[in-house]
Structure formats: structure tokens, C-alpha cells
Structure 1
Amino acid sequence: MPPIDPVQLTADLIRCPSVTPAEGGALILLEKILSQAGFECTRVDRGGISNLFARWGEKGDEKTFGFNGHTDVVPIGDEAAWSHGPFSATVVDGIMYGRGATDMKSGVAAYVAAAIDFVQTTPPKGALILTITGDEEADALDGTTALLDYMDREDEQMSVCLVGEPTCPNEMGEMMKIGRRGSMTAWFEVTGKQGHSAYPHRAKNPLPAMARLMDRLASRELDQGSDHFDASTLAVVTIDTGNPATNVIPASCRATVNTRFNDLHTGESLTDWMQEELDAVSAAFDMPISMKVKVSGESFLTPPGALSDLVAKSVEAETGRKPELSTTGGTSDARFVKNHCPVVEFGLVGKTMHQVDENVPVEQIDQLKNIYTRILTDYFA
């Protein structure tokens, strides 16, 4: 099988309209290419979501290098605002445009190309596993979690795993991720009693109670950061009554907060704290307040060591930059993989991800393939 061109594969993947949760042909394409290269491929679809598991080598090999990525992309927004078709993979002046160009069809293409070339030119003593999901950009309920559940059932095990998300803010090679902050959202509703604003004593206004609660939550300094994490944050993202009238006290008020937290907290400890604040405000205003919480992921850290050293060394060798070991940014599917094996993330510059005219310099795709090849070579050396 001839070497895989990661730039061409990126273009082919972009031309698959895999707006989450649509498969769009992207996983079908990858399964065909990997199968032709000798990878054993299994579709692990669940809940209407398409996922692909691929392994080269024997099940149970003591040394198994894993890769996790996704082919689903966010919606394109206003198509008329794009300079080039969002699924055209048009290349202008060495820049490829298209939805998923950076997040993260280029990363998947670069790793698939590196993995295939690696096992064909220098077959390792060990195994390679790829877990590619179509459910990273949405709720992530039936994506990487489905693949990990499948691996548990089938006794498949990765020794370590690399996630190919874009990790570099501005320059190729400047940052890799060794952990992520936790993320949780809480929805609140204060129930009062509707009435005329000229007779407030006949109503129970829920807005002051909600304002007090939101102030107590937002004013609290959660921490000042930890050894590898910035300070935790809580943002009030909406307060709403749905009340268009100026002379009516509404019956209820709703609000939502989003919290990004470090390793000094857990979703449970923060939920307990918010419940305490809620109870205090509820008692002070004599109004019932409800809360619903969703923890999208707990904070985690892969301590600096052999895996991060391996990736950092390969990145520096190909880019001349020693990547910063970071835990910044939002969530990724590494939050699921960390329960299975040590995991780090490295990928392209992410400046244009999710934007109109998302794009990637084609030279960076080749560079990323070279980095991934070096990682595999050094890991199995």
C-alpha cells in the first residue's frame, strides 16, 4: 500500500459533511483505508452515533499505543459568510479551508497516515489502537464512552493514549495538554407569586432572591489555582423571567451558571457548596429554589513523566519548540480516556476552530504527521 498523503486525506474527510451527529461518510472512509492497511476495524455504533475502533497487532499486547479523535464537526453557521464552501476543502495560498480543518479532521488524517506508514515500514513489537468517534462536539454520551465500554467488554487495553485535539494557541508546537479542568452547569429556578408591581406586598418577587443567590455564587473565590491548574471560575450565563410586562411581578425566575474547576474540587463538592448557598437564600426569602446539575467532566491530570516527555521530545524535534505542559481550555474526550489509561493531547494550532472560514496551513498537516510518526517510533523503540 502506498504512503497515505495526510493533506489529501484531510481534504477527503472535510468533504464528508459530518455535522454532529451525522456520520457523513467520514468513518466509512477511514474504515476502508485502515482495513486495507491491515487494521482490524469494528464499528461501535450506539444511540444513533457512529464510532470506529481499529487495531493493528494482537489483542492483549503488553505495549499498545492508543489514539483518540473525532470526525464530527460543529454546524457551519451562515454559509454565505464563508469565503469558500465549508465542505469544499479549497486550498488557497497553502491554506486549506473547511469545517473541521483544524478541529479535528486534520489531526485524525495526520495520525492515520502516520500509523499506516509506521506499521508498514517498521512493524512494531506491540499494537496500535485507534478510537474515532462521531460524538465529540455534541453531548458525547455515545461516542468515546461507547468505544471504551466496547473495549472493556472485549478486553481491549491501551497502555497510553494520545488525543489529537488542536492544542496550540498560536504557533505549531507551543503547547500540549496533560489535563483538563472539570466542567459543570447548574440550572436554578426560584418560585414566587405573581402580582401587580404597584402592590408588591401581595406578591412574592423571585428576582431579588435569584439576584442574591447569583451574587453569592459569582462573588465567591473558589481558589487561587493549584500546581498545574489556573484558578477555578464560575460564570453566570443567564438570568431570565420571560416577563415582557413592566407592571407585573413574575411568578418565577431562572438562572444558569457554568463552572470550570481544577483539581482542588469535584463536581460533588461544588454541588454541595451551591446547595448550601441555595438553602440559605431560600430560607432568607422564604421561597423554594430548585437546582439541576450536569457535570460534563471532572478535572484530571496526567502527571508529567514518561508519556509527556515522549510527546514533548517529538514535538521539539520537529518544530524546534518545547511545548508548554498545559491544562487550559475547555473539555475534550480525554476526560473519558483518563479512566482507561494515561492520556495526553497534542495537535494543531486551533485559532480558527468553530469559526467561519476555519482553515489549516497544509504544511502543518505534514508536520503533524511527522510528529506523530516520531512519537510512534520512539515509543516502540
Structure 2
Amino acid sequence: MSAAPTSPTPVLPFDPADPVALTQALVRCPSVTPEEGGALALLAAVLSAEGYDVHRPVFSEPGTPDVENLYARIGSTAPVFVIAGHTDVVPVGDEAAWTREPFGGAIENGTLYGRGACDMKGGLAAMVAAAIRYGRDNPDAPGSIAFLVTGDEEGPSVNGTVKLLAWAHERGERFDHCILGEPTNPATMSDMIKIGRRGSLTGKLTVQGTQGHVGYPHLADNPIRGMVRLLAALDATPLDGGTQHFDPSNLEVTTLDVGNPATNVIPAQAKAAFNIRFNDTWTPETLAAELERRLHEAAGNQVRYTLEVQPTNAVAFLTEPGPFVAIVADAIEAETGKRPALSTTGGTSDARFIKNYCPVVEYGVVGKTMHQIDESVAVADLVALERITHRLITSYFAAHRQA
């Protein structure tokens, strides 16, 4: 795994092979989406100093903020093992409610505090540290390690990983497997690997009526009755019963509004929005068709409605359990003493983009405090994740040498 030529880089005030020190340094970068905040610059300096070829492309899209990203690679041969993540974080919210400085990286009683400590600067730092330790110990090992790091995961996800992957592909980069360092564990470091994600589809339903006086209902048409009828039809029958690796798809109504401040006026229309987290039974197209079928059947000739299904890039996907998933699970079990569950629960992530280029699994720190006031990560979990990732990288390249 020979080092690529690099330009001079600044001397760092800490050893980046230390996952705790690197996490602190990243947390101290106020990289609230879409601001880079110094986090990508820090990673660029760290990886350049270790011999990585580093690029920082900026992507743009009308109506969205420009976003900085980072791609780094060491090695020139296959297999290419990719570590992916993001340095952007959500806003701190009510800063006065924090008991520690949100971007301070303070450590108290074995816990490191700060926005992004959990989601996901801690996970990314531990994986960077593991890759650095592996590279130092194996400077001539065959194969390559690459990093895909975006500043747009917590935002629109338009100018981030999806474009970074396309940019790398156009440059001739080809990837074999990827681990994404999202905080997947509910309670302990041995709990869970994400091997897939559900899709997400949002619909907006409008029912038209005729406004009128409540005392003269024969001169009006109350759209609320039709809305109740249609929503009941959407929710009356389960969308499916789940699949081998996925829970049943679920529909949740998220808003219901008629915009009517008067109690003696029948409104002119009613609006509702809903979101469906769907499994691999469906595609966005087949699911939209099923929704329209249910609505059409329930409406008959009595309810006037329109359904707007919003475009989505969040489709259900699965990385089938196999040798790569087993290597990840083996590394976790070897370091924690417990084999993790294989899961597809939770929201969406950038894995939905990565899966188009190579198999991807997600594993990181415990996610209890993500996006919360006083977000934090256990120092012991950072150390454990570094050791797990180092073992994973070692086993991954060893397996390919034996193949």
C-alpha cells in the first residue's frame, strides 16, 4: 500500500492515530451544514501527512448551497476498501441548554461532549485512526483504502455523497466494499450492523370541497369527510407483511389541515401529508401506483382529490449477508465478545447512494444522543471502534490475499 506523493502539510498537535484526540479536534470545528467549519481541512491535513492523495471537490446545484467534500486514497491496486462518512452536523439548537460548550470537545467522566461527537465525527475519527494505524504497520501491503467524506449529509444531500461518488467514478475510481460509520448501535458497541435501509416516500393529498355555511350543508360539500375516508383507505390494509430482512412498510400521516379559522364555515378543501418507510417489496413507482389504486377505489365518484407523490432518492436496498458482512461481524465479535444483529431499521443515510457503486454496510458508535442537547460519545466506544475497524481492515485485506 504505497504512499502517493504529497505536498508539505502542517505539523499536527496530536497523533491522528489516537481516535479520542482526533474526535476532539473534529468536534471543535463548527461544521454546521453547509459550512465546512475546518473539519474537512483538518482531515485533509491528517490524511495527506499519512501519504494519501487528497482531493476536496466542491459541488453546486441551483437553489442549494455549495458544499465541500473530500476524497482521499492510498494505494493503487485492488481491492479498494472504502470508508465513508460526513463531517457536517445539525445546528446546536438552544445553546444555553447545553451543559458543555457544543464545539468544545470536553471530556468528563469518560464521555466526550459536543455536536457531532456521536453523529458522526466520533465514528469517522475512529475509522480514520484505524486506517492510519494499519497503514503505518503495513506500508507495503497490497490493496487500497479510500475515504469518501461529505459536508452535506445532514442537509439536502444534493451536493454531497451522490455527486462525490459520480466524480470519483468519472476519474476511474472503482470500489470493492464500503463501511459507513453512522452511529448504528442502540445501546452497546456489539448491538447492530445496518445491512440495508428502508426507502422513504412522501405524499401530499388534497381533497376538494365546496365552501359554505354550516347551517346550509346542502349548499356545500365538506372535504373533511372525504379526507377521512381516503386516509382510512390508505391505512386500512397493511402495505405488506415484511420480508426476510425488513419490517413491514409503515405509513404515517404527518399533517392534516383545512386552514379554516371559523367554526361556522364548511372549508373549501382539506390537505394531508404522509410519509411511508417502505421495504424491498416496493419501488417508489410501484408504491405510488398502489396508493393511487387505494385512493381511486375509496373515492368512487363522491370524493374529488389529487395526490402528489414527491420525488425520492431514498429507495429500499439490502446488502445480502455474505463474506463481507461476515468479516465485519467477526471483527465486532472478536473485540466485544458478542455477535451483532443484522438490521435494516432506522431512517435513510448516504448508504443509499453508495450501494450503486459497491456493497455497503453501516457500523459506528452508540447513537443514543445523536442530534440531542449535550450530544456525546463514550471514550471507551471510540477506542473500541478503532480496534474493531483496524481488525476489520486487517481481515479484509488478508482475505483478499488468500482468495
Letter in 2 for 1:76: V
2:6 matched residue in structure 1: none
Find the partner of 2:149 among 103, 126, 132.
Answer: 132
Distance in 2 (CA, whole Å) between partners of 1:45 and 1:183 is 27
Q: RMSD in angstroms over aligned alpha carbons?
A: 1.4
Shift of 1:288: 3.6
For the pair 1:378 / 2:391, whether they are aligned, the reply is: no
Work out whether residues 233 and 295 of structure 2, in 8 Å CA contact, stay in contact via their aligned partners in 1: no
Matched with 2:283 is: 266
DSSP-derived class of the 2:117 partner: coil
Q: Give ranges in structure 1 of 5+ residues lacking alignment.
A: none
Alpha-carbon separation, structure 2, partners of 1:262 and 1:12 = 38
Instruction: Give 1:281 shift.
Output: 4.2
Number of the residue aligned with 1:164: 181
Residue 50 of structure 1 aligns to a residue whose secondary structure is strand
- Is the CA contact (8 Å cut-off) linking 1:271 and 1:293 kept in structure 2? no
- Higher mean C-alpha displacement, 168-177 vs 291-300: 291-300
Query: What does the per-residue CA deviation read over 1:303-329, in whole Å, with 9 as the maximum and x for residues that have no partner?
Result: 111111110111111111111111111
Is residue 224 of structure 1 aligned with residue 237 of structure 2? no
Say if 1:288 and 1:232 are closer, same or farther in 2 by CA, change over 3 A: closer
Map residues 22-61 of structure 1 onto 2, 5 A cutoff.
Answer: 22-47=35-60, 48-58=66-76, 61=77
Q: Which residue of 1 aligns with 2:131?
A: 115
Partner of 2:25: 12
The residue type paired with residue 131 of structure 2 is: A
Residue deviations 1:208-259, cap 9 Å, x none? 1111111111222111111111111111111111212111122221111111
Q: Is residue 251 of structure 1 aligned with residue 264 of structure 2?
A: no
Cα separation, 2, equivalents of 1:222 and 1:286: 23
Cross-structure match for 2:106: 90
Partner of residue 347, structure 1: 364
Unaligned runs of 5+ in 2: 1-10, 61-65, 399-403
Q: Within 2, Cα distance between the matches of 1:22 and 1:205? A: 48
Give the TM-score taking structure 1 as reference length. 0.96
Task: Provide the rounded CA distance (Å) in 1 between the counterparts of 2:205 and 2:155.
Answer: 23
What one-letter code is carried by the residue in structure 2 that aligns with 1:73? V
Aligned-residue offset at 1:200? 2.1
Letter in 2 for 1:256: A
Q: Secondary structure at the match of 2:58?
A: coil
Residue identity matched to 1:16? C
Q: What TM-score results when the alignment is normalised by the length of structure 2?
A: 0.91
On the 8 A contact 1:162/1:343 being kept in 2, the answer is yes
2:80–2:175 contact (8 Å) kept in structure 1 = yes
Q: CA deviation at 1:278?
A: 2.8
Contact 2:126–2:386 (CA<8 Å) still a contact in 1?
yes
In the TM superposition, residue 203 of structure 1 has moved relative to its aligned partner by 2.1
Whether contact under 8 Å (1:312, 1:322) holds in the other structure is yes
Aligned positions, number: 379
Paired position in structure 1 for 2:3: none
1:65 alignment partner, SS class: strand
Give 1:285 shift.
Answer: 2.2
Percent sequence identity is: 50
2:204 is paired with a residue whose SS is strand
